[in-house]
Homo-oligomer: A and B are copies of this chain.
Amino acid sequence: MFESRLAAVAARIEARLGDHLSGDEGALAGAPDRLLQAMRHGALGGGKRLRPFLLIESAALFGLTEDDVLNCATALEAIHCYSLVHDDLPAMDDDDLRRGQPTVHKAYDEATAILAGDSLLTLAFALVAGERALPAEARVEIALLLARDAGAAGMAGGQALDLAAESTELSEAEIARMQALKTGALIAFACEAGAIAGNAGADERHRLRRFGEIIGLAFQLADDLLDETADASQLGKAAGKDRARGKKTLPALFGIEWTRRRLAELVAEAEGVLAPFGDRAEVLIAAARFIAERDR
């Protein structure tokens, strides 16, 4: 039931991204073909689309439909995809494979991958600003939050800390900070943006942010666990790579059993934060479990 709902949202995000990246209309009308192709290569054809799902389900908690926030959700996925395109570059993580396909700089070239990433990032803000179902005030607030959570004080800053970690030993606190920025910020954004779109009160908005932070932690922990235990065919990308690079992860420091216990604690904490919403939060709670227990 949860997974079919996730798949349905993924299909809608894929379609909406495809519409925008066709270059037929909107902010990309008139863009050069090869650049559009590279953007499609980096953004279409895969991914669980978990972040947009969280945004849509957070907004649903406040009575909004999928259509009310579909462009905001698509924007969030565009940001996530841009970050993958840039992170895969030779100067960054130097990955040849992503979702079982050549990465954008492999399929095209480095310059095109840099520009495709830049263009996906830029597109995201066109999508938020153009979310006609929401009042301008909400769009502005969501854009501001997205810029904070995606930028140097969020995801991009986390990637900078992660790269620095290849040459210096990080403490547990420093690993936590890096991961909170690199992975946590966008997931927390997803949940908080849904609350903003839904015109939530301060306490509700704060709860959604907190929920997002908790499941962001769980997401990273589950990811690191998979890097320790899964193989490349399960992941569609190289496995065991973090360890090979000397990147410290919490599962590497504390072991697999500790990690599984910690994941269960985080799910319980996430449930507690959303308790005031009662049954309405059922899908988000299912998402928290899915994140903590996923095997790919």
Measured CB to CB, the residues of A under 8 A from B are: 23, 27-32, 34-36, 39, 82, 86, 89, 91-92, 109-112, 114-119, 121-123, 125-126, 128-130, 135-137, 139-141, 143-144, 146-148, 150-153, 156-157, 159-161, 163-164
Contacts and interface: CB of A to CB of B under 8 A. Distances in A.
A126 B151 contact: yes
A169 to B, nearest CB: 16
How many copies the complex holds: the figure is 2
Contacts of A82: 118
Nearest to A119: B152
Pick the most buried of A112, A157, A163: most chain B CB atoms within 10 A of its CB. Answer: A157
Nearest to A142: B129
Pick the most buried of A29, A32, A143, A161: most chain B CB atoms within 10 A of its CB. Answer: A32
A140 B151 contact: no
A76 to B, nearest CB: 13
A144 B121 contact: no
A91 B110 contact: yes
Nearest to A39: B152
25 contacts: A23-B152, A28-B152, A31-B157, A32-B160, A32-B164, A34-B160, A35-B160, A82-B118, A91-B110, A91-B114, A92-B111, A112-B163, A115-B159, A116-B152, A119-B156, A123-B147, A123-B152, A125-B143, A126-B144, A126-B148, A129-B140, A129-B143, A136-B139, A139-B140, A140-B143
